[in-house]
Amino acid sequence: MRRKLAAGNWKMNGTAAALDTLDALANTAASAEVLICPPTTLLSRAAERLSTSAIALGGQDCHAAASGAHTGDISAEMLRDAGATAVILGHSERRADHGETDAQVRAKAEAAMAADLTAIICVGETLQQREAGNTLAVVRDQLTGSLPDNSTGATVVVAYEPVWAIGTGKIPTLAQIAEVHSDLRASLSARFGAETAAAIRLLYGGSVKASNAAEIFAVADVDGALVGGASLKAADFAPIIEALDAS
């Protein structure tokens, strides 16, 4: 059985005052796993605030190397040391802003696994790619290139995030989400075998909010969500967690 996952990506938002959001979420009783990925500057303080909560913490990126001369970068081990148990990798904003390739994402995922962090690996097409009819091909290529060979349900989560749906208020139709998630599951099965594929969680991400969460979570092979804007306030994120629990 795949445990459902509601993951919040705070991106480059939040100073110390944002930790109050964690206090408000800390007692949310959920059977789903709840994960918040704050900016790295807040990780260790967030870990202190959540020390008695079931809410887990994650990073938003890591370097592929364990340590060394990489000014400004953070290693997977450093994230783990600061209190993270997971890390988002290959988010489309990093692929776009920093030119991250599938090979780099894969190397980072290997580093995350070595540091005992769950790698939440993002894939997703641009609007141009969707309109050209290339969605499945693009997402399959990203999946193949970004996932390490030893991926398992314990070490990897895949997030399908159509680039054009992130932060725009637009979401694909439920049939489009179902098509991609089903294809992702089939690709995982072809590469890792049915048993491993059945254990890897598939999140949908892109403009998830309280008003659309329930219908998205009802789609086959959607095991939860990666949520950006609506994870910044407890009043917005809590109903999404509730919808996931109820699905």
Nearest to ligand PEP of 160, 192 (CB atom): 160
Of the candidates 184, 197, 208, 222, which one interacts with ligand PEP according to CB under 6 A? 208
State the minimum distance, in angstroms, from the CB of residue 18 to ligand PEP.
15
The span of 62-70, 78-86, 103-111, 199-207 binding ligand PEP (CB under 6 A) equals 199-207
Does the annotation count 161 as an active-site position? yes
**Site for ligand PEP (CB under 6 A): how many residues?**
13
As a residue count, the chain comes to 247
Q: Catalytic one among 100, 161, 181, 242?
A: 161
C-alpha 224 chain-centroid distance: 9
Q: Does 124 bind ligand PEP (CB under 6 A)?
A: no
- Angle CA 199–203–209, to nearest 5: 150
Q: Does 207 bind ligand PEP (CB under 6 A)?
A: yes
Does the annotation count 91 as an active-site position? yes
Of the candidates 109, 166, 184, 219, which one interacts with ligand PEP according to CB under 6 A? 166
> Residue 53: CB partners within 8 Å, gap ≥ 6?
22, 25, 26, 27
Beta strands 201-205 and 156-160: pairing type? parallel
Q: Is the dihedral of CA 22, 74, 63, 52 positive or negative?
A: negative
> Is residue 207 a contact partner of residue 167, using CB atoms and an 8 Å limit?
yes
Q: How far apart are CA 114 and CA 17, in angstroms?
A: 33
Nearest to ligand PEP of 77, 226 (CB atom): 226
The radius of gyration of the chain's CA atoms, rounded to the nearest angstrom, is: 17
| Chain residues in the site for ligand PEP (CB under 6 A) | 9, 161, 166-167, 205-208, 226-230
Q: Which residues are catalytic?
A: 91, 161
